[in-house]
Amino acid sequence: MSCFRLRPKRTNSEEQVWQNGLKKVAQDNGKLLGLEGDVDLQFLLKGGDLLKVRSRSWHKNRFLKLMEDCRTMGYPSQKFWKRDKTFLIDDIESVRKGRQSDGLQKYTNASEEEKCFSIIFRGHKKNLDFMATSQEEAHRWVTSLEKLINNMHNLNKQQKSEHWIINCMRKSDKNNDNKMTLKEVKHFLRQINIQVDDAYAADIFKKCDTSNSGTLEDLEIKQFYDLLTQREEVDEIYNNYAKTEGEMSTSDLLNFLLNEQREQATTASALKLIEKYEPDETAKQKKRMTKDGFLMYLNHEDGSIYNPAHSALYQDMSQPLSHYFISSSHNTYLLEDQLKGPSSTEAYIKALMKSCRCVELDCWDGPNGEPIIYHGYTLTSRILFKDVIRVIKEFAFKTSEYPVILSLENHCTVEQQKVMAHHLISILGDALVTKPLGNTMPTDFPSPEELKGKFLIKGKRLNKLDAMFSNNNTVEEETVSEEDEAADCKENGEKAKPKKTKIKLAKQLSDIVIYCKSVHFGGFEHAKDSQAFYEMSSLKESKAFNLAETSGTAFIHHNMDKLTRIYPAGSRTDSSNYNPVPMWNVGCQIVALNFQTPSKEMHLNQGRFMPNGFCGYILKPQFQRSLSSQFNPNRLTNGPWLQQKTLHVMVISAQQLPKLNKNKNKSIVDPLVRVEVHGVPADNGSKETHHIENNGFNPSWNESFQFPIHVPELALLRFVLEDHDAASQNDFIGQYCLPLASIQNGYRHVPLLTKRGDVIASAGLFVHVMLVEQQ
């Protein structure tokens, strides 16, 4: 990696060698990324001057460039005692052209729109807002960065691993002479999260130093790399099936796919895998797969635990809205806690880009006649209602084209409610559903397919929907009972307000509530007799959990033709989450979670909504949609839901786990793996491996577990990796969660995600899984 700091003075010839070395490093890394000679990559490597924007008065010039590792961006600090600022390409969530961040909206003029762009990071890291010298230059920065991000994202696991290891090697080459001393080898091993004693390091160094020069170079470094990355567990699997002159013939590979992977494989599909993954052209011509090709297959989507067929939209999207689980957010405007954390339009963008399809807007009277959004009776910051609606319009359908529900928690006066209605109608335009689909009074919900690209408003309504189809559209009264959640918002130490059971409602706002009219929940019998299909209730988690426990079947039947929204208790001021699984078990569609809080519950939510093209809608199992169903998740009886199976999981090994405490002496992890099943109570289980001392690079466990499964259609499988600590709580390393219905049997790699749900580029888990009928 290059450095902006002053270096020891070099002669002209030394400088030329230095610069040529940097160019060679950049060229090699560009080749690894599939961007050899690419003009956009060259533009980023050259870098350029930009204006960094932090406030109205803080606009400063910065020289931004891509480092030679092709994965780090940097710009020099203006203070000589401070380190240069750098950030990883892997940490970038998106690059946005124009004034599409809070900062650029506040601190730049609309006339400079085309010169602006923002780099948005994953997690809580602050955005970087820049202004280029021209529209063309801003466009060049955005397109070049997007190309680099996409190419890095599209690398398979083996390519990411190779890129990571090679760059770790280069960082350990302190004097950049393309040679590695024993001292540099030891530093490299620490870099890649493996602790070895001096004797072992010296032994592998001596084994590779065939020239006896005291350094490793060229082919010796390649030999060292191959020795380090050798996967004995993969070698053993490969050798068991490679029966044709030490290689896998088409029939050998087919044998492996049928016996180990339990796939519906054919000779044609085996040949297709050879064509897709085999790097050796001679082997490919012989219709064989070498060990390198086999490793490539295992590290690609075909060898993933997640069924690639479920990555695309594959479910029936033509059923009523009530037949789907809908990815839903609570207090969507918050970035942190619910007492004093910041509110931001950015929070809506992040949720929508994760395919969240139901967002919440807490609306209050604001200054200058403009409604605002914030968490009432707290110190959370305020944002304008109209700015939120503009952002929602912009980002709602970028990752999913299926409908978005705007859940209004309305505390506004009638005058500002009219302003809310005006903004919703004028900004959302034709995308806003303002009347039922069709020309007659509906008796059921439209489908997600029919509502593509549409917004639905959830809120209070003054009259029945039938009034829209009669000549009499008058209202009997202008007040409605207060929203359940609004009535709860003063709990648990929040500033008290007078008990209020009625609020005045503006007709303009009432009229655009069509399919999601909020009503108080009066019990399942009352709802069955008196509640229209479009009338939905919001239930606090404690009430919902009690109903799920005591009236599971009734709850499921209620949710067959009506929507139910569940929200966290007011006591969760830290924006923590409840377990969503019991709510899905009883068919609740809108199980609202705090998306801003990285947690086990959000991991389960991400796993639930990962399949079906990540569109935010998952079709509920048939037994949660059929009127004849007597399914009760808490008291299992015989029925189509009962498909008793055994899940066998063997945790074999892991690769390139991240270091956790990079600035501390204790930075090498002692990893263990926990395997969890989440579903109906009878299926819940958790089992754990032993921990491996001082090895985050290639730990190996080879431990097997079994889990009895009763209702596989509702079960989720979660892997958690932790750094064992005997004296305190284990540290989190990575996790992955997916529905049991989406797993592939056999030897599979498991990608690992951060606590916030982002992919850890080079890391992975290797397992053997088998879901079989109980004998």
Binding site annotation covers 77? yes
Please tell me the distance from the alpha carbon of residue 155 to that of residue 166, in angstroms, as a whole number: 15
Residue 513: name the closest of 478, 468, 446, 558 by CA: 468
Binding site annotation covers 668? yes
Binding site annotation covers 57? yes
Binding site annotation covers 83? no
Residue 41: name the closest of 134, 144, 172, 193 by CA: 144
Residue 157: name the closest of 229, 92, 79, 232 by CA: 229
User: Residue 240: which H helix or E strand, with range?
Assistant: helix 232-241
Binding site annotation covers 694? yes
CB 71 within 8 A of CB 152: yes
Binding site annotation covers 725? yes
Binding site annotation covers 69? yes
Please tell me the distance from the alpha carbon of residue 594 to that of residue 592, in angstroms, as a whole number: 7
* CB neighbour list of residue 610: distance below 8 Å, 6 or more residues apart: 306, 310, 737, 738, 739, 742
Binding site annotation covers 317? no
C-alpha dihedral over 26, 30, 31, 37, to 10 degrees? -90
Residue 748: name the closest of 275, 254, 270, 299 by CA: 299
Binding site annotation covers 145? no
Q: What are phi and psi of 116, to 5 degrees?
A: -95, 150
Binding site annotation covers 670? yes
- Token couple for 660: 């956790």
Binding site annotation covers 68? yes
Binding site annotation covers 76? yes
Alpha helices in 609-678 (DSSP H): none
Alpha helices in 67-192 (DSSP H): 102-107, 135-153, 157-172, 182-191
Binding site annotation covers 485? no
Binding site annotation covers 458? yes
DSSP 218: T
**How many residues can be counted in the chain?**
775
Q: What are phi and psi of 110, to 5 degrees?
A: -60, -30
* CB neighbour list of residue 228: distance below 8 Å, 6 or more residues apart: 165, 204, 697
Binding site annotation covers 688? no
- Token couple for 554: 């009734």
Binding site annotation covers 409? yes
Binding site annotation covers 60? yes
Binding site annotation covers 32? no
Residue 480: how many CA atoms within 13 Å on its side-chain side?
Answer: 24
Binding site annotation covers 51? no
Which residues are tagged catalytic? 330, 375
Q: Is 682 exposed, middle or buried (0-12, 13-18, 19+ CB in 10 A)?
A: middle
Binding site annotation covers 53? yes
For every residue of 584-599, which 3-state class applies, written as one string?
A: HHCCCCEEEECCCCCC
Binding site annotation covers 340? no
DSSP 446: P
CB 578 within 8 A of CB 603: no
Binding site annotation covers 371? no
Q: State the maximum Cα–Cα separation within the chain, in Å, rounded to a whole number.
A: 97
CB 432 within 8 A of CB 424: yes
Binding site annotation covers 54? yes
* CB neighbour list of residue 415: distance below 8 Å, 6 or more residues apart: 369, 506
Binding site annotation covers 65? yes
Could you please report the per-residue DSSP string of 466-506? GGGGSS----S-SEEEPPHHHHHTT-TTSPP-----EEE--
Residue 380: name the closest of 285, 259, 494, 211 by CA: 494
Binding site annotation covers 72? yes
Please tell me the distance from the alpha carbon of residue 653 to that of residue 230, in angstroms, as a whole number: 13
User: Residue 179: which H helix or E strand, with range?
Assistant: strand 179-180
Binding site annotation covers 460? yes
Binding site annotation covers 36? no
Binding site annotation covers 641? no
Binding site annotation covers 174? no
Please tell me the distance from the alpha carbon of residue 658 to that of residue 193, in angstroms, as a whole number: 7
For every residue of 662-699, which 3-state class applies, written as one string?
A: CCCCCCCCCEEEEEEEECCHHHCEEEECCCCCCECCCC
Annotated binding site for Ca(2+): 331, 360, 362, 409, 668, 670, 694, 723, 725
Which residue ranges make up the annotated binding site for substrate?
Answer: 52-79, 458, 460, 538, 565
Binding-site members are: 52-79, 331, 360, 362, 409, 458, 460, 538, 565, 668, 670, 694, 723, 725
